[in-house]
């Protein structure tokens, strides 16, 4: 079973009327992948309509034709979104190639399906009683081939599933089911999270749990001596999984530990903070800090699963919630729309699937962070990340010529007292230069972009954040 659609096709399956074609069209711009409509491929090849081909050749022969078209689609090198007909997976020759894709079942109830396609002229949607019988008959097969089940019309749900993200209130109590595989598990967390949620996590993991490892709080966790101690304590074999239970500092450190331990073991992120749930735990960027800057040593290591349980946010202090709000506001600015936690997670997940190595559109997520990281480094990482991001958003919007009212209203950023030269030196290390210009993420009329701006402009914008 595939865990995500990273470098894999997304195959949409489901009964007639599940909305596969509509969903594929909505996914296309978000994942920036071509859509392969299997029915259209067949019609183009035979220069005829599906109903006529079906009636002329009969269902057994049509299923063979369909299987060939699915095999050809899955065989394409570039990951695509493959839209399959409702009966395609009933044929074994179609199910076999789907093992190479990430298959999503769009789940629809029979009444809705009949309302959408009954009387549409489809060969198998003419008689309601037969339609309902066929619906029940196919359900076990759909679920057998599916790597994920998502409600019809839930495009965010498909994106989250494709990224390996499970969003469910109360999911911590099902952690034992949600950690893939059956190997040993080591939990990495900090003292606060261990006190609040450790018992539930350990009970859910049951006999798979072989150790619990406690990190210092906050940015103190993201230091090489801490990582060295964690590696020395771990006793997992290569079939084991590290579960990172905590905020962004825990997931950053534990994810990096997993990337390097035994030359890479699986890890699962269970973010317990708003920062983690909308940003830090998604996309597989892991890192620690060094004196020269934040997140300068790390690795790309996609988590086997991210478990987002918004119930965990109920234990946050107002200060902690505020730190996460800055990342949520950032994502809303990028998306150009209001987003809740789930929507923000889906927005980031889509960008990360498009650009897992952070070479293109994923860099949009650094909106404000070029400045934020510089301020954090200049403050010896004692400036809370959310406060730094709020200030960084001000600078990015000013350079973009955009109104800053929303950021000021929601986040109320205040200039900080740090050394200006140290902040500037940290900024120069954080991002690549293009000649005498600095690359920063800005918001244009048509959305976010990475733009090289004169160093003097960037320095002036940074200085406005410092008192």
For the cut 90, the answer to whether the pLDDT of residue 147 exceeds it is yes
Please give the pLDDT value at position 381.
85
123-127, 167-171, 214-218: which is most confident: 167-171
| pLDDT confidence of residue 87 | 87
Q: What are 271's strand-pairing partners? A: 246
Residues 407-424, mean pLDDT to the nearest whole number: 95
| pLDDT at 1 > cutoff 90 | no
pLDDT digits (tens, 9 = 90+) for 364-398: 999 999 999 999 989 988 899 999 999 999 999 99
Q: So what's the pLDDT on residue 119?
A: 74
The pLDDT value given to residue 43: 84
Is the predicted pLDDT of residue 121 greater than 90, yes or no?
no
Q: Is the pLDDT of residue 448 over 80?
A: yes
Question: What is the rounded CA–CA span in Å between residue 17 and residue 140?
Answer: 17
55-85 pLDDT, tens digit per residue, is: 778 778 888 888 889 999 999 999 999 999 8
Residue 27's pLDDT is 98
C-alpha dist (Å) from residue 43 to 39, 199, 414 = 6, 57, 61
Higher confidence at residue 287 or residue 1?
A: 287
How does the average pLDDT of the chain come out, rounded?
93
pLDDT range class, residue 321, cuts 50, 70, 90: very high
pLDDT at 42: 85
Structure tokens at 352: 């990360």
Note the pLDDT of residue 114: 94
- Residue ranges and CATH numbers for the domains of the chain are 10-159 (3.40.50.300), 167-316 (3.40.50.1970), 357-463 (1.20.1090.10)
pLDDT value at residue 434 = 66
Q: Give the pLDDT band of residue 432 (cuts 50, 70, 90).
A: low
Provide the pLDDT for residue 294: 78
Task: Write down the pLDDT at residue 431.
Answer: 59
The pLDDT assigned to 433 comes to 66
The tens digit of pLDDT for each residue in 247-297 reads: 999 999 999 999 999 999 999 999 999 999 999 999 999 999 988 777 889
121 vs 276 pLDDT, higher one: 276
Among the listed residues 268, 304, 339, 367, the one whose alpha carbon sits nearest the alpha carbon of residue 147: 304
**Residues 434 and 452: beta-carbon distance below 8 Å:** yes
- Mean pLDDT within 34-60: 84
Confidence at residue 329, expressed as pLDDT on a 0 to 100 scale: 97
């Amino acid at each position: 079973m595939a865990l995500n659609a990273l470098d894999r096709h997304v195959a949409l399956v489901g009964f007639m009327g599940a909305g596969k074609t509509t969903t594929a069209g909505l996914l296309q711009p978000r994942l920036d992948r071509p859509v392969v409509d299997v029915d259209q491929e067949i019609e183009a090849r035979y220069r005829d309509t599906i109903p006529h081909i079906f009636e002329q050749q009969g269902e057994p022969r049509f299923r063979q034709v369909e299987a060939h078209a699915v095999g050809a689609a899955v065989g394409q090198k570039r990951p695509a979104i493959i839209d399959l007909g409702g009966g395609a997976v009933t044929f074994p020759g179609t199910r076999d190639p789907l093992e190479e894709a990430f298959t999503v079942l769009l789940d629809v109830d029979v009444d809705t399906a009949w309302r959408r396609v009954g009387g549409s002229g489809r060969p198998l949607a003419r008689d309601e009683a037969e339609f309902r019988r066929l619906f029940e008959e196919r359900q076990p097969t759909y679920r057998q081939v599916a790597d994920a089940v998502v409600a019809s019309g839930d495009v965010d749900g498909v994106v989250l599933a494709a990224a390996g993200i499970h969003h469910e209130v109360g999911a911590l109590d099902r952690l034992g089911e949600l950690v893939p595989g059956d190997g040993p598990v080591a939990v990495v967390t900090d003292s606060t999270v261990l006190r609040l949620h450790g018992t539930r996590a350990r009970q859910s993991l049951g006999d798979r749990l072989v150790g619990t490892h406690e990190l210092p709080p906050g940015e103190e966790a993201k230091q090489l001596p801490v990582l060295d101690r964690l590696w020395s304590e771990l006793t997992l074999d290569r079939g084991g999984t590290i579960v990172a239970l905590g905020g962004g500092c825990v997931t950053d450190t534990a994810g990096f530990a997993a990337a390097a331990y035994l030359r890479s073991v699986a890890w699962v992120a269970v973010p317990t903070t708003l920062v983690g749930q909308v940003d830090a735990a998604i996309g597989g960027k892991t890192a620690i800090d060094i004196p020269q800057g934040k997140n300068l040593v790390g690795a790309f290591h996609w988590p086997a699963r991210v478990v987002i349980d918004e119930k965990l946010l109920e234990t946050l202090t107002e200060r902690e919630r505020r730190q996460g709000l800055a990342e949520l506001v950032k994502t809303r600015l990028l998306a150009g729309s209001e987003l809740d936690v789930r929507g923000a997670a889906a927005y980031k997940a889509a960008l990360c699937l498009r650009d897992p190595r952070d070479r293109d559109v994923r860099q949009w997520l650094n909106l404000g962070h070029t400045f934020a990281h510089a301020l954090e480094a200049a403050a010896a990482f004692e400036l809370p990340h959310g406060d730094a991001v709020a200030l960084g958003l001000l600078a990015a919007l000013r350079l973009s010529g955009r109104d800053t009212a929303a950021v000021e209203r929601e986040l109320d950023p205040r200039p900080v007292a740090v050394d200006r030269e140290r902040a500037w030196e940290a900024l120069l290390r954080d991002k690549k230069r293009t000649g005498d210009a600095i690359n920063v993420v800005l918001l244009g009329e048509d959305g976010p972009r990475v733009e090289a701006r004169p160093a003097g402009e960037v320095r002036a914008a940074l200085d406005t954040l410092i008192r």
